[in-house]
Amino acid sequence: MKLLHRGEVMLFDELVKENIRDFYDRRREMELLKNGILECRRIILILGIRRIGKSSLIKVTLNHNKIPYIYIDVRSIYRQYNYISSYAIHYALESALNRLSKSSFWSKLLDYLKNIRGVSVMGVEVRFSESPQKITVIMPQLFNALNDWASDNKSKIALVFDEAQYLRYSKINFRSIIAYIYDNLPYITVVLSGSEVGLLHDFLRVNDPRSELYGRYMYEIVLKRFNREQSIDFLYKGFQEYGIEPPTDIIEEAASAFGGIVGWLVYFGRLSIDKGLSREVIIETFIKGSKLVKEELSKLYKRSPRYRYVLEAIAQGNTTWSSIKKYITARELKPIYDSALYEILLTLEKMGIIEKVLEKDEIKYKIVDPVLQYAVMH
């Protein structure tokens, strides 16, 4: 097997991409994100379902355009601690800041950070000397220093919270912090990504007069699934990196099966490289991929078994309001109130698990992720 660029990240690598040479397409979205930051958009939302490539888009765009950034993966913090503590934010922010140490501007930035009370500079490393409980005191000073540095150096800096909807599990008032940056620090752009789009909007509460972010404009960039042609092209290019000319019929079948979700196309490609390219690998991708999403489903089902019933109904073809209601009534042996069904469907929509589509003047509900649908049925 011939590798076209051994040692580099390839399309079928499951790591978040950071270099443009390893990133497929998305030039339009990259340009929107770059221009949004350089044109001083104050808050940018990167929206799209899970496994669609939001993290890669952010990192590739910022790295390619040499835009300094502080990057915090909020979901990974939540999964580690089951909430977002001051302690977790303290060390995540400290680590994110120190990742800038490899940058050419780091030595200049240190001069701005040295004057912050609660921040210690030891050689080329930065440490927060105050206790984690005081991170809310350090953050405004830190962001002011970053803004001053960017202003003096005619630069911009991005503050990235990946999967930002999980910030709702923090006792820290991040809406207030974001509002402060929006109002006072013009050289910092806050970039928030979210796969649970509705829940991210709920957290931000832009339309709530009581919210700190009420009335603030947010620039949205939506990552859509690949269409069939893009999926086919992605798979061809991925296999060609390994010197493989894939059979057309299998590639077309895989492109149709995975619904344009790049994460599953990558997973299929990875399995095919390891086990050989065959139709059976498409099935194996569904089986193994479903095990990955069942953890997400189990947490959802713990809220109420009705989430399971709704997803089962849709997966089995009961896609209208009335047919979903009939399915739940049959499972529970008693009627479900319309208000209760509405809340469940709305929550699943906000989480990016289902979507509404209009077919022949009738609203129907569809499960967005084909692998998640497989998991529901198995």
Q: What is the pLDDT of residue 164?
A: 97
- Same domain for 231 and 121: no
Output the domain CATH number for residue 334.
Answer: 1.10.10.10
pLDDT for position 4: 45
Are both 170 and 78 inside the same structural domain?
yes
Does the pLDDT at position 2 exceed 50? Answer: no
SS3 category, 367: strand
Q: Please list, in sequence order, all residues whose beta carbon lies within 8 angstroms of the beta carbon of residue 111, skipping any fewer than 6 positions away.
A: none
Residue 10 in any domain: the answer is no
pLDDT of residue 309: 98
Domain boundary among 189, 207, 222: 222
- Which residues fall within 8 angstroms of residue 33, CB to CB, at 6 or more apart? 44, 46, 57, 58, 61, 191, 221
Q: Is residue 200 part of a domain?
A: yes
With 70 as the cut, is the pLDDT of residue 3 above it?
no
Query: In terms of domains, do 41 and 187 share one?
Result: yes
Range of the domain at 272: 225-277
Mean pLDDT of the chain: 93
- Spacing of C-alpha 285 from chain mean position: 21
Structure tokens at 153: 């150096």
Alpha-helix residue ranges (DSSP H) falling in 8-85: 27-38, 54-64, 74-81
Once rounded to an integer, what is the mean pLDDT over residues 130-141?
90
Together in a domain, 125 and 26: yes
Q: Is 134 helix (H, G, I), strand (E, B) or coil?
A: helix
In this predicted structure, what is the pLDDT of residue 132? 87
* Residue 135 counted as domain residue: yes
- Per the CB < 8 A criterion, the answer to whether 71 and 78 are in contact is no
Share of the chain above pLDDT 70, in %: 98
Same domain flag for 189 and 260: no
pLDDT digit string, tens, across residues 265-302: 999 999 999 999 999 999 999 999 999 999 889 989 99
Provide the domain count of the chain. Answer: 3
pLDDT at 256 over 70: yes
Same-domain pairing of 80 and 217: yes
Neighbouring CB atoms inside 10 A of 225's CB total: 18
Domain co-membership, 148 together with 185: yes
Angstrom CA distances, 375 to 53, 79, 294, 312, 367, stand at 21, 21, 6, 10, 11
pLDDT the model gives residue 295: 85
Q: In the prediction, which pLDDT does 118 show?
A: 87
Kindly tell me if the per-residue pLDDT of 210 is higher than 50: yes
Are both 76 and 104 inside the same structural domain? Answer: yes
Crossing angle of helices 279-303 and 262-275, rounded to 10°: 130
pLDDT on residue 304: 93
Q: Per-residue pLDDT tens for 36-83?
A: 999 989 999 999 999 999 999 999 999 999 999 999 999 999 988 888
CA distance 221 to 54: 10
Q: Quick one: pLDDT at residue 122? A: 85
Whether residue 4 lies inside any domain: the answer is: no
Domain-embedded: residue 6: no
> Residue 176 falls within a domain, yes or no?
yes
User: What pLDDT is attached to residue 10?
Assistant: 85
Last residue of a domain, one of 178, 195, 222: 222
Distance CA 166, CA 169 (A): 6
| Average pLDDT of the segment spanning 18-38 | 94
Domain match, 78 and 27 both: yes
Residue 263 domain-assigned (yes or no) = yes
Token output for 68: 């300094």
* Distance in angstroms (rounded) separating the CA atoms of residues 251 and 107: 49
pTM: 0.93
Q: Tell me the pLDDT band of 8, cut-offs 50, 70 and 90.
A: low
- Confidence check: pLDDT of 7 > 70: no
For residue 177, the domain's CATH number is 3.40.50.300
Note whether 104 and 165 are same-domain residues: yes
Residue 194: phi and psi, rounded to 5, are -155, 125
CA-CA distance, 255 to 237, in Å (whole number)? 13
In a domain, 319, yes or no: yes
pLDDT mean over 207-224? 94
Q: Are residues 216 and 237 in the same domain?
A: no
Nearest to 337 by CA among 301, 306, 302, 312: 306
Residue 186 and residue 263 in one domain: no
Q: How confident is the model at residue 115 (pLDDT cuts 50, 70, 90)?
A: confident
